[in-house]
Amino acid sequence: MDQKSNSFLETEKIGKLMQKYAIPCIISLLVAALYNIVDQIFIANADYLGSYGNAANTVVFPLTIVALSIAVMIGDGCCAFVSISLGANRKDDAHRSIGNAIVVCIVSSVILTVLYLLLMDPILTLFGGKVNEETYACAHEYFFWITLGIPFYMFGQAMNPIIRSDGSPKFAMLSTVLGAITNIILDPIFIYPMRMGMKGAAIATVIGQILTAALSIWYLFHMKAVKLERRSFGIWWSLMRRFLVLGITSFLSQISLVVSMAAVQNMCTKYGAMDEIFGQPEYAQIPLAVLGIVMKFFQIAISIAVGMAAGCIPVVGYNIGARRKDRAKTLFTYLLIAEAVVGAVALVIVEFFPKQLIGIFGASNESPYYTEFAVRSFRIYLCMMILATVNKGTFIYLQALGKPLESTIISLTREVIFGVAFPIILPIFFGLNGLLYSFPAADILTFLIAAFIIIRTYKELSTEEHAIKLKEEP
């Protein structure tokens, strides 16, 4: 790896570098998010599924995040380790780590699939699946078929960053895009004319995941910087430990969301049953369905926020290594502004166009209570979008600066402590509305912590920048 080939990272304009590195990352994350969102849109607009299918989709969604968290731990950790190994000209470590990542991914995905199939009923109950019989039936059917596709899903997601580490970010993006397009094409065919219901939506998703996994397998036999050999797939415990540790931050950032979702969905079911309207059996699934939709919109906005920050990581790392703390500081400023702009645009959409948003998810087929609760949820639950996007950008930038511990602590505080405590405590005083208040409350308190870190980071970069200038003076 020729360090000089990357020297433009120190000389090119910061704005151009952000565009070059962030846009592909944003596209990849948005496409990955589309899988579940597309399913929910088509399910919601099927008159024989509607809010029951929507609620079922919400129940199953966190369970796919569990699979994703394991996959990104393997993939992101291996990606970082391969990059380090290639930079140090340790090609044996590079190909062995990829071979071991493949083995770990396959074994862990099979184990997770078996556990999901054996424990399906208690798992669905834990995430609110038994809000009523219709929702449980839809969730059970959808979860069964989605579970069968977990090995393909995890393999595709784990190999994606490894392919990027081999110098092929466009192929990594293409494999994900083609899988998502396949899902988009098959979803309406299976759900509408063939009337396959939740099973059809799940099978369409799995076929897309199989395509992504197949393309990833093809690439593994055509890698550029690394060549896999038979001995690559031997069990190298020392290598496994080293690359899995590098991916632990990615794992924690994803799995913490699952803990928060479990709390929110359980409280949604509990306090929805106490509500005058949603306590009625025919409307019981509406709060769960609506919150799932609101979170899908949040996922779109946050994918852009994460993509921008993650795309900046190589730029930050290079300039820190080159002792250009001034450029790292400028990039941080640009990133925070960009994150705030994304949050502001999302805020305007949810505050002024909530009816149009919920209309995409089949509101015309539902009772007026569905739309009313959706409007209220969009406006309250996501009212601190600007803080949410700035928080997320800060977490990731801290990783790039070599501060993974601070980043992980703040992230876990947001998702596990605030994300679990507030959904449990606030509904005690405010009922179902308390659940809606929990999300902005968590973002406000997290921002107070993030603001302290932001100020301290600016001071550190400014102090180091000043010290460098003094040394350079004659």
pLDDT at 468 over 50: no
At 67 the pLDDT is 93
The answer as to whether 348 is a domain residue is yes
Could you give the CA distance from residue 471 to residue 474 in angstroms, rounded to a whole number?
8
The answer as to whether 324 is a domain residue is yes
pLDDT at 466 over 60: no
At 82 the pLDDT is 74
The answer as to whether 380 is a domain residue is yes
pTM summary value? 0.81
Give the tokens for residue 384. 């601190």
Side-chain-facing half-sphere of 247: CA atoms under 13 Å: 29
Phi, then psi, of 323 in degrees rounded to 5: 60, 30
Please tell me the total count of domains within the chain. 1
pLDDT in tens, 199-239: 999 999 999 999 999 999 999 988 887 777 777 677 777 77
pLDDT in tens, 186-210: 999 999 999 999 999 999 999 999 9
The answer as to whether 2 is a domain residue is no
Range of lowest pLDDT (1-15, 48-62, 203-217, 256-270): 1-15
The answer as to whether 1 is a domain residue is no
Regarding predicted confidence, which is higher, 246 or 190?
A: 190
Could you give the CA distance from residue 440 to residue 423 in angstroms, rounded to a whole number?
11
Average pLDDT, the chain: 86
Instruction: Give the confidence band of 9 by pLDDT, cuts at 50, 70, 90.
Output: low
At 88 the pLDDT is 65
Phi, then psi, of 128 in degrees rounded to 5: 85, 15
The SS3 of residue 89 is: coil
pLDDT in tens, 397-445: 887 676 777 777 888 888 889 999 999 999 999 999 999 999 999 999 9
Q: Which domain holds residue 70?
A: 7-472
- Written as one letter, the residue type at 243 is F
The answer as to whether 268 is a domain residue is yes
> What does the radius of gyration of the chain's CA atoms come to, in whole angstroms?
23
The answer as to whether 118 is a domain residue is yes
The answer as to whether 311 is a domain residue is yes
Q: CA 96: distance to chain centroid?
A: 28
